[in-house]
Structure 1
Amino acid sequence: MRIAITGAGNVGRSIARELLANGHQVLLIDKDPKAIKTESVPDAEWLLADACELSSLEEAGLDSCDVAIAATGDDKANLVHSLLAKTEFGVPRTVGRVNHPGNEWMFDEVWGVDVSVSTPRLMCALVEEAVTVGDLVRLFTFKDGSTNLVEMTLPDDSPWIGRRLDELVLPGDTVLVAIIRDGHAMAPDKDGALEGGDELLFVTAPDHERSLADMLTAEGATPRVVSQPDLAY
């Protein structure tokens, strides 16, 4: 795929290196001459231009890109670029970086954003995931807001310890997608059994999170459902 990344700072360059390592073509765009460090990502294309201007995006050949990633430190610029990429150049997939969680509500299809990534929220969720046992932690919300990726580290007093997975009746259309045990990821096996300390990853609707948390913890326990709180800076 050909992928355009707006913002050639540390974030943009890191994304570019990963994508190049996976065999993609990458174009890095930035309007700041100091950000054009071609030696840092020598296999990428580089363009000194304002990615919020139509003429610059025409020069970049954005209409030939499969993905446009807006990764600047300015939410306004990321929104404008995503909107132009989607509406003026027909880029099939757009990804927008959210720098301030208070702006997250704008990063949707109205502004041409297919996928939004909020760094503060992801960091908060990962901290919660690392330190909580017996609480359901929301790691990621898919773009339509109707489905979440959630995690729970199974407490040692869970009623499901030692029971077969095919006995696990999950609420609604919840799906157990992976089990992490002793640092190793495993696909769920209906003949397998759960152990204390297992990290369970589910895809579920927000309405089922509380029921899921309740069923996995001991009777009388009061598990939290930890969403990603708004952070300010």
Structure 2
Amino acid sequence: MRVAIAGAGAVGRSIARELIRGDHHVMLLERNLEHVDPEAIPDAVWVHADACELALLESAELESYDVVIAATGDDKVNIVVSLLAKTEFAVRRVVARVNDPRNEWLFDDSWGVDVAVSTPRMLASLVEEAVSVGDLVRLMTFRQGQANLVEITLPADTELAGKPVRKIQLPRDAALVTILRGGRVIVPQQDDPIEGGDELLFVASVEVEDELRAAVGVKR
């Protein structure tokens, strides 16, 4: 997979290293010449360019990339990069970093963003996930499909204990994708039994979250 990352700061470099470990082709776009350091990540393609400049993106052949990640520390820049990537270069997948949670409402498909990643929101969700039992916690939003990755930790005395997965009457537009049980990651099958304390991960649209709560026997 070919991935272009706008912003070669600490965040952009960390993402690049992880992607390169996964054998992906990575290009780093950085406008600050002092931050352009090919020796730091020699396997990446480094380009000294302002990712908001259309001509420079054309020179970098952005249209040949499968994913663009707008990872700068400036939300305005990330929005512009996302919009250019989607509308001018038809990049299939655009992921944008949200630095200020107050700007999160801007990061949607109208600005070319498929997935918005807000570090403060993710950290808050992880805290909620760690302490919340019997409630629904949103972990990530998939903007392109208007769906969320949500987690529900079943209480120890859940009425579902001992029943197979097929007994969960899921609403439309909701799917159980994983059961976390202790150190195990379980890909759920219809006959797998449910246990108290299970962490259930679903992909679901916002509209059916209340129905999802009811299906697993938890209250809002």
Higher mean alpha-carbon deviation, 121-130 vs 204-213, is at 204-213
**1:66 partnered with 2:69:** no
Aligned equivalents of 2:165, 2:127: Cα separation in 1: 28
Which position in structure 2 is the counterpart of 1:125? Answer: 125
**RMSD between aligned residues:** 1.8
C-alpha separation in 1, matches of 2:172 and 2:156: 25
1:51, 1:81 within 8 Å by CA — same for their partners in 2?
A: yes
Higher relative contact order (CA 8 A, sep 6+): 1
Q: Deviations over 1:40-83 (max 9, x none)?
A: 21100111221111232123222222221110010100111112
Are the counterparts in 2 of residues 93 and 114 from structure 1 also a CA contact under 8 Å?
yes
Name the residue aligned to 2:139. 139
Match of 1:227 in 2: none
1:172 aligned onto 2:182: no
Q: Deviations over 1:126-173 (max 9, x none)?
A: 111111111111112221464222111110121111122222222334
Shift of 1:25: 1.1
Q: What is aligned with 1:230?
A: none
Is 2:105 the counterpart of 1:105?
Answer: yes
Per mean C-alpha deviation after superposition, the further-off stretch among 209-218 and 176-185 is 209-218
The answer to whether the 8 Å contact 2:66/2:91 transfers is yes
- Between stretches 138-147 and 182-191, larger displacement belongs to 138-147
Deviation by residue 1:148-200 (Cα, 9 ceiling, x = unmatched): 22111110121111122222222334221111111211111222211111111
**Matched residue type, 1:4:** A
Report the secondary structure of 2:76's partner residue.
helix
CA 144–66 in structure 1, closer or farther in 2 if over 3 Å, else same: closer
**Aligned partners of 1:155 and 1:217 also within 8 Å:** no
Q: Scaled by the length of structure 2, what TM-score is found? A: 0.91
In structure 2, C-alpha distance between the alignment counterparts of 1:82 and 1:25, rounded to whole Å: 19
Segments of 5+ residues of structure 2 without an aligned counterpart are: none
How far apart are the structure 2 equivalents of 1:83 and 1:24?
23
| Structure 1 gap ranges (5+) | 225-233
Number of residue-to-residue matches in the alignment: 220
- Per-residue deviation at 1:102? 1.6
Seq. identity, %:
56
C-alpha change, 1:60 and 1:2, in structure 2 (3 Å) is same
Tell me the equivalent position of 1:114: 114
Distance 1:173 1:29, change over 3 A: closer
Point out the more displaced range, 152-161 or 110-119.
110-119
Take 1:85 and 1:215, find their aligned partners in 2: how far apart are those partners? Answer: 40
- CA distance in 1 between counterparts of 2:14 and 2:145 reads 28
**More displaced stretch, 76-85 vs 32-41:** 32-41
Greater mean alpha carbon deviation, residues 64-73 or residues 83-92: 83-92
Q: Does 1:33 align with 2:27?
A: no
State how far apart, in whole Å, the 2-side matches of 1:91 and 1:204 are.
25
Match of 2:11 in 1: 11
Counterpart of 1:185, as a letter, is V
- Runs of 4 or more above 6 Å deviation: none
AA matched with 1:139: L
How far has the Cα of 1:207 moved from its partner? Answer: 2.8
Give the Cα–Cα distance (whole angstroms) in 2 for the partners of residues 55 and 144 of structure 1.
27
Q: TM-score of the superposition, structure 1-length normalised?
A: 0.87
